[in-house]
Amino acid sequence: MNNAAPKTGLKRAKPKETFDFFHDARVRSVFYQLITAGLFGLLMWYLVTNTSQNLQARGMSTGFGFLNTTAGFDIDFKLIDYTPGKGTYGRIFVIGALNTLLVSFMAIILSTALGFLVGVLRLSNNWLVSKVALSFVEIFRNTPLLIQIVFWYIGVFAVLPAVKMTIDLSLGAKMLLLNNRGLYMATPIMGGLFWMTLVALGVALAGVYLLRRRARKLQESSGKQTKTLIPSLGLLVLLPSAVFILTGRPLSWDMPTLQGFNFAGGTSLPPAFLALIVSLSIYHAAQIAEAVRAGILSVSKGQKEAALSIGLKPARVMAMVVIPQAMPAIVPPMISQWMTTVKNSSLAIAIGYADIVSLFMQTTLNQIGHAVELVGMTMAFYMVISLSISGLLNIYNKRVQLVER
């Protein structure tokens, strides 16, 4: 039986489209965008010409030629070589940027780890543990960050013992020494064959990844759980250790030693750096802890109860069921916290840490002027870093979001 509709040869007449310049949505959209772009361009032109005229009227030079000018001041903490009287202001900018990135990166790592731990402990059934976590959050979240930075700098690290009464944090090995002048650490010096140990470590990490991937696939296909912790630790420890010993232990240490009135050798971190790391980590950990707590509470109790009913231990339920489902709610506020950590590192100027604001917008600005260029470069640096963090975490956020069909 043929159910196809008979062909009549008639075509449905389309309504005649009439173009109206003022009522067409596409035209209005383009028109408003052109108006906005024109106004923005006019504003920028006014700002640039007005600033240029004011600088010329005051006899102030412009341009970025100052970056090749030799700088004469010294820096107490730097990650690259710099010699006063030989290094340029362009190198000063790089040193300040690297110092800012170092303190921001370490603060982000520490605050995220501590924030996750406190956020989970905040929901503990143990009354004392949950109240201690609550006190941590309320104290450090509701206190201005600048006050916390000054507290750690003046109230903690400045009152540590003097050099002769140095605290040995390495329990007598003298590899980690702390006093009121900072933290002194032994520096590893790699020998010629140490690269083979690094290769072995990379192979071990790849093996652990494949091991865990195989265990996950086996669990998904058969429901059988395979323990990978002990084999993974064995692989990570035994393989690099064996290669390290067989290649003649190609690693030595530059130990900090007391010479005169201070320690020489090794790597030293000034008290300002330590105070900034601790204050940024604790302050933003308190913020992240609340985001973690909110994310965990957003997961249905039925998910947890279902996981417990099949015999999973509470720790595995948290790691395998609750946290993965809570991540879509945790990641967006965590993006904001990471970006804020980078921007809050500029408060280091209060305790004299050599970040980009202290070196470039304070010392450099006082010596050579060029305020517009200095401010513009510093703003561009923070904007690039913030946009990079936001872009990378937004990619991760899309991967952890729940997919609805």
- 283 and 204 inside one domain: no
- C-alpha 262/C-alpha 181 separation (Å) is 9
- 283 and 228 inside one domain: no
Q: Is residue 176 part of a domain?
A: yes
- 285 and 268 inside one domain: yes
Q: Is residue 319 part of a domain?
A: yes
- C-alpha 141/C-alpha 294 separation (Å) is 15
- C-alpha 131/C-alpha 39 separation (Å) is 55
- C-alpha 370/C-alpha 363 separation (Å) is 12
Q: Which of 201, 231, 254 is the last residue of a domain?
A: 254
Per-residue pLDDT reduced to its tens digit, 183-238:
998 888 888 888 899 999 999 999 999 988 888 888 778 777 777 888 888 888 99
CA 51 to chain centre: 35
E strand or H helix at 322: none
The string of DSSP letters for 234-281 reads HHHHHHHHHHHHHTT--EEEE--EEETTEEESSEEE-HHHHHHHHHHH
Query: Which residues sit opposite 190 in a β-bridge?
Result: 251
Structure tokens at 55: 């600088």
Q: What is the CATH number of the domain that holds 137?
A: 1.10.3720.10
Per-residue pLDDT reduced to its tens digit, 45-56:
998 888 878 877
Q: Is residue 51 part of a domain?
A: no
- 206 and 286 inside one domain: no
- 167 and 268 inside one domain: yes
Distances (CA, A) of 240 to 10, 202, 246, 395: 80, 9, 10, 33
The conformation of residue 157, written as its DSSP 8-state character, comes to G
Q: Is residue 115 part of a domain?
A: yes
- 135 and 243 inside one domain: no
Q: Which amino acid is at 205?
A: L
- C-alpha 166/C-alpha 159 separation (Å) is 12
Residue labelled with tokens 């970006």: 339
Nearest CA to 379 out of 389, 369, 387 is that of 387
The string of DSSP letters for 203-221 reads HHHHHHHHHHHHHHHHHHH
Domains held by the chain: number: 2
Backbone angles phi, psi at 70, to 5 degrees: -75, 135
Q: What is the 3-state secondary structure (H, E, C) of 350-382?
A: HCCCCCHHHHHHHHHHHHHCCHHHHHHHHHHHH
Cβ neighbours, 10 Å, residue 326: 22
Residue labelled with tokens 């840490």: 353
Query: What does pTM read for this prediction?
Result: 0.80
Q: Which of 254, 275, 295 is the last residue of a domain?
A: 254
- Position 1 scores a pLDDT of 44
Cβ neighbours, 10 Å, residue 104: 24
- 216 and 247 inside one domain: yes
- 157 and 93 inside one domain: yes
- 169 and 313 inside one domain: yes
- C-alpha 200/C-alpha 213 separation (Å) is 20
Burial 172-204 (b: 16+ CB within 10 A, else e): eebbbbbbebbbbbbeeeeeeebeebeebbeeb
Q: Which of 195, 227, 254 is the last residue of a domain?
A: 254
Largest CA distance in the chain: 107
Sign of the torsion angle spanned by Cα atoms 172, 175, 181, 182: negative
- C-alpha 215/C-alpha 220 separation (Å) is 9
Q: Which domain holds residue 328?
A: 89-186+255-400
- 239 and 156 inside one domain: no
Positions in the chain whose pLDDT score sits under 50? 1-5
Cβ neighbours, 10 Å, residue 277: 21
Q: Is residue 3 part of a domain?
A: no
Structure tokens at 79: 């990650």
- 273 and 372 inside one domain: yes
Q: Is residue 48 part of a domain?
A: no
- Position 6 scores a pLDDT of 53
Q: Is residue 43 part of a domain?
A: no
- C-alpha 173/C-alpha 255 separation (Å) is 10
- 395 and 310 inside one domain: yes
Per-residue pLDDT reduced to its tens digit, 89-124:
999 999 999 999 999 999 999 999 999 999 999 888
- C-alpha 390/C-alpha 335 separation (Å) is 6
